[in-house]
Chain A
Amino acid sequence: MSTGIILTPDVRSKAYIQKILHHQIHFEHIIFMNDNRTEKKYSEDIIKLSKNHGFDISQSVMNTLLKNNLDFKEFSFVDINNPILIKYLQSLDTEFFIFTGGGILKHDILSSGVKFIHLHSGITPYYRGSSCFYYSILDANYAGVTAFIMDKNLDTGPVLFQKKFQKPNHKYLDDVFDPYIRAETLIELLKNKTMPFTESIKQNPLDGETYHIIHPVLKHIAILRCITND
């Protein structure tokens, strides 16, 4: 039984792969779904802050993979439901893949025999869906992450591990705080939970709340709450 990771060209994957390397965690298979999008440029402030949080946001996923001589399989699309990816996954003897992206898994990939672990930045079932760390900071001054095995619904799969974090004292929630809390939870999950993740807690999809993309007014209030009240 082995574990793999599916990376995408974004800040979340940057934090995951860099922290994984730092903690010397080994994956049998690394898949990189790479649509060759243009790398976003970051200010010195964000780069410095990301480094303080254990990853360098200015380093692309590709850079990190190449610099560390990691074996990886690259696909030129970013779509977890792509049939080419499904066929490839079925050819591997890997039961679990950490999937950095989110969204809905369709029938074909769900029935491929592979299980996908996702790190969602919200404590389920109270915070499912989008922008959950903002809502959680507004409601209760904390953010949380849930590691779960993905199923056909949004953020409703069996829970492996949950971790809460105090709200940050900076304004870079999308670029630094969100990838940081997910990556930290991933490391804790991989270090403390033994394979094959037999201990999980089932969720009732009807419990809790599903949130949608946060309006900029609420987002501003949440960020101001982070940088105003320590």
Chain B
Amino acid sequence: MKYSYSNANLLEFPQKYQMTPFEGREFLSSYEQSRKDVLDKIKNNQAVNSLSQTLELIKKSSSTNEKENKKIFVTNDLLLSILLKLESKEETQQETKMIMMLLKKFEIKKKIFAEYDYKLKENSTDFKILRNYILFAAICIQKFQDNNNLKFLNVLLKLNDIICSQIDSISDEHDLSLVYHVINLELEYVSDLNRKTL
């Protein structure tokens, strides 16, 4: 059995996940193998830094894009700033609220756009910046670690399906390092949850 939820181009053709069939325990093995294949692909092509090093390198290589219109934000900047605050345990209510709004928006559209206003109305038609999906996946990892709320694991699985479906288009080594960590941790959380079933 092949895991089929990260096969197609999920950026162009989002997966809706409605009424998905039950395919037995074998389905979970195929999911695990599919994710491990992506991990191997990354590891075989480059050295993977630790998560904290990776974040530091992404921070250093990112330049903040100041918008003239203060009602608009660049998604990449906001996600990186939220992720760094979560990493340093400095999350405020403002960040929590924004994460929840982004989660809801993603669950409905299955896309992350390059710019939004603060009510999350899209200010761009570009939804193909993979770093946004990777950063949001890393945020969901942090949130699930903090509160065990399954809605974060749920959205993480969907983000990683998109990322895995696009793995060959990611060339930045820091992005690939971060992808390695978010997939590895997702596998760990899924395995923990599954262990409680056995």
**Chains A and B come from one and the same complex:** yes
Q: Which of B117-168 contact A (CB under 8 A)?
A: 149-151, 153-155, 157-158, 161
Q: Which of B18, B22, B155 has the most CB of A within 10 A?
A: B22
Interface size on B, residues (CB 8 A): 31
- Chain B residues whose CB sits within 8 angstroms of the CB of A221 once the complex forms: 28, 190, 193-194, 197
* A residues near B108, Cβ cutoff 8 Å: 212
Give Cα distance in the complex from A212 to B158, angstroms: 11
User: Please, which residue of chain B has its CB at the minimum distance from the CB of A229?
Assistant: B197
Contacts A209-B149, A213-B107; is A219 near B22 (CB within 8 Å)?
yes
Quick one: closest A residue to B197, CB to CB? A225
Q: A211-B151, A214-B154, A217-B31 are in contact. Are A223 and B22 (CB under 8 A)?
A: yes
Residues facing A in B1-39 (CB within 8 A) are 5, 16-20, 22-25, 27-28, 31
Which of B31, B151, B197 is A224 in contact with, Cβ under 8 Å?
A: B197
The answer on a CB contact under 8 Å between B150 and A139 is: yes
> Could you count the A-B residue pairs with CB atoms below 8 Å apart for me: how many are there?
67
Q: Is the CB of B25 within 8 A of A224?
A: yes
Binding site for B on A (CB under 8 A): 135, 138-139, 171, 174, 209-221, 223-225, 228-229
Which residues on B are within 8 Å of A, measured CB to CB?
5, 16-20, 22-25, 27-28, 31, 104, 107-108, 149-151, 153-155, 157-158, 161, 190, 193-194, 196-198
Could you list 9 examples of A-B contacts with CB < 8 Å?
A212-B107, A213-B107, A214-B17, A215-B157, A216-B5, A218-B150, A218-B193, A219-B20, A221-B28
